[in-house]
């Protein structure tokens, strides 16, 4: 099995040699197959031969989510379409999706990475795992699914949205592991408690990620369900889930450095941060074929440590995430940018650009309310007009964001004006 060949414990010297060889190959690949990178490198006076190893990484250009958006949908792909066997997508800053592609080999490596995470969490072929991340364009469902199958575990592909069925099957099938967002797991716990079934649960591990969560939240989940909860990180642009995950020590997430070369930079100056200092995580893919990315700015804030881990793995660890350096919100696992709301509202014409997004967590589920100012006349007209407009805005926002939204229409000048940066978001969610 692929995961038995795991490189997680190789020496740092061996790892550096492997990373250098893979980096050179990746730079050659993008230079010859992606016009965007060739042009960027040429503008910088760089040729593939100038990159002799990871010590030359700093010479390479950065890549941002905007670069992916500007080259929508397939402009950054480095292989012909006939070699692309899968496409996933996540929302971009202006509503246009960020599209990512995988060759067969990319899918194999993705499986291998997720398999490592599951093995690290003590899951094996005798386990039954419910995958309760969304299946579809989002990478969570299928990413965990293929990794778990590759490991030989029995997968129950629940996806999201039917908690009652999930808990019935959890009990009937004697499920031993679950993969879902930590906030969804808290909701599942609540439903189990209400149904008086929490003591019947046989779960021993939970693989939670796709959104920030704290150590306290992990402890709460562990004590209520009597299991070990592990943190899994990833992003669609780079792979999906399986870029990094924490081991039993729970002191940082091991980055799978044989496939992803991490850097931490100051998000303002782009200068490298010292070990242990918080900055933005930047990742260079080392083995991706369809969508290799150089120095991708994740916007995720963390720090890195190369200290040996008591678990024996030699791969660097990044700390639990401290937030993001941009304004992206993650609501029920869906990435949402305030600019998407703004663009959708402005396109409609009947609303003013004055709006505020209020995110809260009710019964452990994220809810998004958007308050929008509308013209005075809607309040003097018949109430029916106001209701009609509300319905229209709700459906426009729902299709723009891919998320149900509660819309509240308010009179002109209700929303506080700002003299500096407009405050578009009130996030009331408290991470426990």
Interface residues with ligand DLL (CB under 6 A)? Answer: 90, 133, 138-140, 209-212, 231-236, 240-241, 298, 300, 321, 324, 330, 335
Q: Which is nearer to ligand DLL, 136 or 152 (CB)?
A: 136
Q: Which is nearer to ligand DLL, 315 or 374 (CB)?
A: 315
Residue 57 makes CB contacts below 8 A (sequence gap 6+) with: 23, 51, 261, 263, 284, 295
Q: Which is nearer to ligand DLL, 289 or 300 (CB)?
A: 300
Residue nearest to ligand DLL (CB): 209
* Nearest approach, Cβ of residue 240 and ligand DLL (Å): 5
Q: Which is nearer to ligand DLL, 116 or 354 (CB)?
A: 116
Q: Which is nearer to ligand DLL, 59 or 219 (CB)?
A: 219
* Nearest approach, Cβ of residue 66 and ligand DLL (Å): 15
Distance CA 318, CA 112 (A): 20
Distance CA 263, CA 276 (A): 12
Q: Which is nearer to ligand DLL, 41 or 329 (CB)?
A: 329
Give 332's strand partners: none
Residue 398 makes CB contacts below 8 A (sequence gap 6+) with: 404, 405
Q: Which is nearer to ligand DLL, 245 or 309 (CB)?
A: 245
End-to-end CA distance of the chain: 39
What letters, b where the CB count within 10 A reaches 16 and e where it falls short, cover 109-147?
Answer: bbbbbbbbbbbbbebeeebbbbbbbbbebbbbbbbbbbb
Asked whether the bond before 73 is cis by omega within 30 degrees of 0, the reply is: yes
* Nearest approach, Cβ of residue 96 and ligand DLL (Å): 14
* Nearest approach, Cβ of residue 180 and ligand DLL (Å): 9
Q: Quote the Cα angle for 86-104-247, to 5°.
A: 90
* Nearest approach, Cβ of residue 134 and ligand DLL (Å): 9
Q: Which is nearer to ligand DLL, 31 or 213 (CB)?
A: 213
Q: How many residues does the chain have?
A: 432
* Nearest approach, Cβ of residue 90 and ligand DLL (Å): 4
Distance CA 198, CA 17 (A): 49
The candidate with the shortest Cα–Cα distance to 97, out of 107, 106, 87, is 87
* Nearest approach, Cβ of residue 100 and ligand DLL (Å): 9
* Nearest approach, Cβ of residue 381 and ligand DLL (Å): 41
Alpha helices by DSSP H, 75-194: 104-120, 139-151, 163-172, 182-194
Distance CA 141, CA 124 (A): 19
Tokens of 22: 């893979």
For 233, which DSSP code? E
Q: Which is nearer to ligand DLL, 120 or 374 (CB)?
A: 120
* Nearest approach, Cβ of residue 393 and ligand DLL (Å): 25
């Amino acid at each position: 099995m692929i995961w038995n060949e795991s490189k997680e414990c190789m020496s740092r010297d061996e790892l550096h040699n492997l990373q250098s060889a893979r980096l050179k190959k990746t730079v050659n690949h993008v230079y010859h197959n992606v016009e965007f990178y060739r042009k960027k490198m040429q503008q910088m006076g760089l040729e593939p031969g100038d990159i002799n190893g990871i010590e030359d990484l700093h010479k390479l250009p950065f890549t941002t989510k905007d670069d992916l958006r500007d080259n929508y949908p397939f402009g950054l792909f480095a292989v012909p379409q006939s070699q692309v066997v899968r496409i996933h997508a996540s929302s971009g800053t202006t509503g246009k999706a960020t599209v990512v592609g995988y060759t067969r080999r990319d899918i194999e490596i993705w499986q291998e990475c997720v398999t490592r995470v599951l093995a690290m969490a003590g899951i094996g072929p005798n386990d039954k795992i419910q995958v309760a991340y969304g299946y579809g364009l989002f990478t969570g469902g299928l990413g965990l699914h293929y990794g778990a199958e590759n490991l030989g575990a029995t997968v129950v592909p629940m996806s999201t949205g039917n908690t009652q069925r999930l808990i019935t099957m959890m009990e009937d099938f004697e499920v031993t592991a679950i993969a879902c967002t930590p906030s969804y797991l808290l909701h599942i716990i609540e439903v189990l408690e209400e149904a008086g079934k929490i003591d019947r649960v046989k779960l021993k591990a939970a693989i939670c990620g796709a959104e920030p969560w704290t150590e306290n939240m992990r402890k709460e989940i562990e004590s209520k369900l009597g299991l070990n909860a592990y943190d899994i990180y990833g992003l669609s642009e780079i792979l999906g889930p399986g870029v990094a995950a924490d081991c039993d020590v729970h002191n940082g997430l091991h980055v799978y450095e044989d496939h992803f070369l991490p850097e931490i930079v100051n998000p303002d100056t782009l200068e490298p941060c010292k070990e242990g200092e918080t900055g933005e995580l930047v990742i260079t893919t080392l083995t991706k074929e369809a969508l290799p990315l150089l120095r991708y700015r994740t916007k995720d804030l963390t720090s890195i440590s190369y200290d040996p881990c008591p678990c024996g793995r030699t791969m660097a660890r990044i700390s639990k995430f401290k937030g993001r350096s941009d304004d992206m919100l993650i609501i029920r696992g869906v990435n949402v940018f305030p600019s998407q709301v703004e663009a959708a509202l402005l396109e409609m014409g009947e609303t003013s650009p004055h709006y505020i997004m209020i995110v809260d967590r009710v019964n452990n589920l994220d809810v998004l309310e958007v308050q929008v100012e509308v013209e005075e006349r809607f309040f003097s007209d018949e109430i029916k007009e106001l209701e009609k407009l509300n319905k229209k805005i709700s459906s426009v926002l729902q299709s723009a964001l891919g998320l149900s939204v509660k819309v509240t229409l308010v009179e002109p000048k209700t929303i506080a004006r700002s003299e500096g940066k407009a405050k578009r978001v009130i996030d009331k969610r408290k991470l426990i």
